[in-house]
Structure 1
Amino acid sequence: MRSIGEMARESGLGVSALRFYDRAGILVPDRVDPVTGYRWYAPEQLGEARVLARLRRAGMPLADVRLVLAGWTAADTDLVRRLLEAHLRRLQEGLSAARVEFSALHDLLDDRENPLMTSPRSAARLSVSGPGLAAALDAVRFAAGTDPDLPVLAGVHLDAEGDALHAVATDRYRMAVARTAVGGHGGGRVRATVPLPLVDAMRALLDGEDEVSLAVDDGRVTLEAGDRQTGGRCMEQDFPDYRRLVRLPAGRRAEVDVPAFTEAVRTGPVRRHEDGGTKSELTVLEVSEDGRVAPVPEGADGPDLVAVNRAFLLDALAAAADDRLVLEFGAPTTPLAIRRPGDEHTFSLLMPVRLSD
């Protein structure tokens, strides 16, 4: 007999998915302990679960999944083959329709002017606190993207307006924003997206200068720190309007002791997750009624649990560089916000992973 955790590891289905398929009557445990409620699966159910995992990854509707599993061991496999072929046709038709819609969207983008995004080619020179800029880059660098298909995300976006300079990085699954004071540019808005190699070169110069000069001119960005400088081309693509992505509804708040919470996440239970062939480990968090937050055991279930990539969470905790942090939870599908107490301008957002099917 296999426990639900063992079944999850060996079948490729998550614990929450197994619970879902039990409730749906599709893969019912062979035995449920009447006292503890623990689910136990018979050895022969492992093969069935592995078939179910493949059907799930292929996105087959539940009604068809039921029939496939019901006919999987039958001598006549004609029904199963027809169901598989019908679902494949639906996927192909859906892909064809999606191509049509995406082609139309690309045409709209080609025809549309975007007045909200200004080119980084206008000349500007900014006076920035050296330690402030260093702290801002340290707070966001971890969230920058590495996907070669999305090169504009493989950098740090600098957005100066008024007396504030925001540094922003995102790889779609997480976002980090930090702010520092700026002056000397006349108050107009200045934006430039700096590629990561240049970001790292800039950070290497910020090792003690109280004030540095940041210049943006004709698609180039230059940092001067004392008698040293580094510079290079900005990215030509427009960075997404990050301000639209940080408007989150109010939710539950929990303040954590960072060293203790980091250790609890690092050594605590994880759930395996696979998305598009990419495997990761999730930490599932729960906020108690008294405002404490902690990872929950592997088999825990509930409507208010929030699952996030464990490595991303550890990166965000380390980048915040503070002994106390505030975690803000919304719905299970709302990004988890990680902030410093009393600082609403420097924060990280982590996209949650849905635990239910």
Structure 2
Amino acid sequence: MPNSELMPIGVFAQRTGLTSSALRFYADSGLLPPAEVDPVSGYRYYGAHQRVRATVLRQLREIAMPLAAVEAVLDAGAVEAARLLDEHVAKIVGDAAAALQKAAVIKSALGNVPGLPIAALKGPVLADAVEQVLTATAQESGMPVLSGLRIEVSHEAVALTATDRYRLSTRTLVPMQPPGQTWAGTVNGDDLRAAVAEIRRSALVRLEAVPHGIWLRVAERQDRHCRLLSEEFPDYRLMLGSLGEVTARATVSKDLLLRALEEHPGERIALHVTDHGVNVRSADAEQPGIPLPATSTGSALQLWFELTTLYPAVSTAIGSDVMFDLRGNDQPVTIRSADRGDLTTLAMPIKSDHCA
């Protein structure tokens, strides 16, 4: 290579963001050997063609990738390199989540405060309720509380609630015995998801409050700790209390409606409710709707929904038939089982002009 195309180690370091000592280390490890080494002085020189490899190497080390994995990425094709990157990041995320969980357990133990028993529930029932209600959570930057599940314990029942601001799901459970006191807290949704399998296999789960979290105590299995979120949960009771009067109601087969939503080509869905049934339509006027038999009362309405809002609200409903309580085309719709009311979901429609 002509000397004019070579750079001394100091210049190459400035252009790649690596230090001279790091370049020497990567040269000695075989990851980035210099293009030439002066046999007399021992000075190392690098070529312009090595800048890309050096820059990627620096970026990989900045995300704490081990040297062996760095070498594999640098020498792999684009598809394999992307897979190795995803694998590394997933491990980092998993390790961080495990560290957070362990830290929360340690914090709870540091105070040496005994747990406060708050409720005892059937494990399979609690697991189903957690999975159903958590579908209404959201991972939103700046609002971590939307990823959590609100647990409220009264003297008669345990209520689970979640909202992503477009949906709100709430389910009320009857404890094995009346709780001795009231309690409320917002529990980390990811921790609960990780605990669901263990909960489902336990006949009885005892909820125990501790500083910064709750324990899910299970017999002959590993107890699970879930962190509490400190942010204030949205005032969903104010929203429930301000709901308008129901002007129409429709009851439709859950399976038929889900099938229609799955077969529908659009991301936005219109439900046209009349006394003849429910028609699932798209924004494209040329696309035929999907008529569904339904029992309807009240005035005819057409409401638009995002598929990502409507589908989970319907899929988590309990029972074979789903009931829609309608208040107008711009008002929240209540979606629940036609014969069991312990899971209720509110879904916000969108304006029809959003579908243009």
Query: Do they fold alike, i.e. is TM over 0.5?
Result: yes
Amino acid aligned to 1:284: A
Offset of residue 152 of structure 1: 0.9
Residues 158-197 of structure 1: pairs in structure 2 closer than 5 A: 158-182=151-175, 186-197=179-190
* TM-score, normalization by structure 2: 0.58
- Which residue matches 1:235? 229
Residues 19-34 of structure 1: pairs in structure 2 closer than 5 A: none
Amino acid aligned to 1:150: M
CA distance in 1, matches of 2:115, 2:216: 16
Contact 1:192–1:216 at 8 Å: present in 2 too?
Answer: no
CA distance in 2, matches of 1:262, 1:230: 34
- Which residue matches 2:292? none
Offset of residue 218 of structure 1: 2.0
Offset of residue 351 of structure 1: 0.8
Residues 83-232 of structure 1: pairs in structure 2 closer than 5 A: 123-182=116-175, 186-227=179-220, 228-232=222-226
Contact 1:223–1:229 at 8 Å: present in 2 too?
Answer: yes
Q: Map Cα deviations across residues 131-167 of structure 1 (whole Å, 9 max, x no partner).
A: 2211211211111111021111111111111221111
- Name the SS for the 2:135 alignment partner: helix
Cα distance 1:261–1:185, how it changes in 2: closer, same or farther (>3 A)? closer
**Which one of 344, 347, 354 corresponds to residue 344 of structure 2?**
347
Contact 1:144–1:155 at 8 Å: present in 2 too?
Answer: yes
- Which residue matches 1:294? 279
Q: Map Cα deviations across residues 283-335 of structure 1 (whole Å, 9 max, x no partner).
A: 01111124x222135339x9931011112211122222432111121111111
- Which residue matches 1:285? 271
- Which residue matches 1:107? none
Contact 2:118–2:153 at 8 Å: present in 1 too?
Answer: no
Contact 1:125–1:184 at 8 Å: present in 2 too?
Answer: no
- Name the SS for the 1:238 alignment partner: coil
Offset of residue 211 of structure 1: 1.6
CA distance in 1, matches of 2:317, 2:264: 21
- Which residue matches 1:307? 304
Offset of residue 229 of structure 1: 0.6
Amino acid aligned to 2:233: F
CA distance in 2, matches of 1:217, 1:223: 11
Offset of residue 187 of structure 1: 4.4
Cα distance 1:350–1:262, how it changes in 2: closer, same or farther (>3 A)? same
Offset of residue 127 of structure 1: 1.0
CA distance in 2, matches of 1:124, 1:241: 26
- Which residue matches 2:252? 256
* TM-score, normalization by structure 1: 0.58
Contact 1:160–1:182 at 8 Å: present in 2 too?
Answer: no
- Which residue matches 1:337? 334
Q: Map Cα deviations across residues 87-141 of structure 1 (whole Å, 9 max, x no partner).
A: xxxxxxxxxxxxxxxxxxxxxxxxxxxxxxxxxx993431112122112112111
CA distance in 2, matches of 1:260, 1:342: 17
CA distance in 1, matches of 2:314, 2:215: 30
Q: Map Cα deviations across residues 56-90 of structure 1 (whole Å, 9 max, x no partner).
A: xxxxxxxxxxxxxxxxxxxxxxxxxxxxxxxxxxx
Offset of residue 344 of structure 1: 2.8
Cα distance 1:128–1:149, how it changes in 2: closer, same or farther (>3 A)? same
- Which residue matches 2:316? 319
Query: What is the aligned residue count?
Result: 226
- Name the SS for the 2:301 alignment partner: coil
CA distance in 2, matches of 1:187, 1:125: 7
Contact 2:270–2:303 at 8 Å: present in 1 too?
Answer: yes
Contact 1:316–1:338 at 8 Å: present in 2 too?
Answer: yes
- Which residue matches 2:74? none
Contact 1:325–1:339 at 8 Å: present in 2 too?
Answer: yes
CA distance in 1, matches of 2:268, 2:124: 34
Structure with higher Rg: it is 2
**Larger relative contact order (CA 8 Å, sep ≥ 6):** 1
CA distance in 2, matches of 1:334, 1:269: 25
- Name the SS for the 2:205 alignment partner: strand
Q: Does 1:266 align with 2:262?
A: yes
